[in-house]
Amino acid sequence: MVPKIPLIDLEAQLAPIRDEILEAITRCVDSRNYILGEEVTRFEDAIATHCGVEHAVGASSGTDALLMSLMALGVGRGDEVVTTAYSFFATAGVVSRLGATPVFVDIDPSTFNIDPARIAEAITGRAKVLVPVHLFGQLAEMQTITDIADQHGLVMVEDAAQAIGAEGAGGFGAIGCFSFYPSKNLSAMGEGGMALTHDEELARALRRLRNHGAETTYLHDVVGGNFRMDAVQAAVLNVKLRYLDDWTRARRQKARRYDELFRESGLVESGRFEIPTPVRDHVYHQYVIRSEQRDAARARLAKEGIASGIYYPVPLPLQPCFSHLGYGPGDFPESERAARETLALPMFPELTEDQQQRIVSTLAR
């Protein structure tokens, strides 16, 4: 039987660094310091340096990093947060959890990112924060988006969960957030996230919020939460960060190879598949193609033991939990079309030439 091809191969990632990881975990176990502490500080400093941002605050997940960022900016009841209609749920979920209202903007079909031309019309007097997402690892159009935010007096929080390593990612907004969920480009062995900021006061607020709003033990200035990062996760991430640049380079190479294979196969010319060309820096968290016959293609891949993914099958405004916001089918045509047509193919730094050929030739058949 032909070997299966996974969407992401964590076994291939682990094999060459297994000893280093186990050593780091052992050191952490023996230190008996399991939450925050030296490993977390070291990781925060390393990420801040890597991304060229002054302050980095480790968190319990990417979701919690986003949540505490909005909390630090005082988002609450009556506020609106403008964001993309097409992202992972957390981008909008954190807004609702604070009693604020997510206001959605359709995407630019060529990048899957928020369409800058549609942002202004979504901004009302209640809008407080703008949350662009660098979907699939490609930067949103930050120059234009930053200008729009400035013009309307909105603060920007970047959801950079899928884009660590992209040029400037995490440093465009007042706060930028990363996720270290196991499937992300830089991944923990459990949950982890981070909020970055150039602003010292915001950094201080974030540190306080992640620790139940206390700067001094048992003295709570504000109501925060337990959004702290585990030391073991930071220890793992400190090892993996050394490989991130190599992994990003490899992801870009695999993407270029996919592009070539698709062109050679005639699939793009035939109009049956569309291979979106990146227009801004891209770290290929996902390699996403689109097709009107997406579901048939996906079934065929599955039959050949090739995994694929749909990110995301339902646009955010059409999620059942947001039905009270009153959006309906047809309100976000490009997000809805993306939800019907996108297909994420296996993408990881260790992907082989054989695997890529098999994937594209299966689709060609």
Ligand X SMILES: *Cc1c(COP(=O)(O)O)cnc(C)c1O
Residues from 265 through 324 that contact ligand X (CB under 6 A) = none
The smaller minimum CB distance to ligand X, of residues 91 and 335, is found at: 91
The smaller minimum CB distance to ligand X, of residues 70 and 133, is found at: 133
Residue from 44, 79, 158, 159 touching ligand X (CB under 6 A): that is 159
Residues from 57 through 76 that contact ligand X (CB under 6 A) = 61-63
Residue from 82, 161, 169, 306 touching ligand X (CB under 6 A): that is 161
Which listed range, 87-95, 101-109, 119-127, 286-294, lies at the site for ligand X (CB under 6 A)?
87-95
The smaller minimum CB distance to ligand X, of residues 62 and 315, is found at: 62
Contacts with ligand X by CB under 6 A: the residue count is 15
Residue from 43, 88, 172, 312 touching ligand X (CB under 6 A): that is 88
> Nearest-CA neighbor of 286 among 190, 161, 189?
161
Judged by CB under 6 A, does residue 91 bind ligand X? yes
User: Mask: binding to ligand X, 117-136, rule CB under 6 A, as x and -?
Assistant: ----------------x---
Kindly list the residues in this chain that would bind ligand X in the complex (CB under 6 A): 61-63, 87-88, 90-91, 133, 159, 161-162, 179, 181, 191, 193
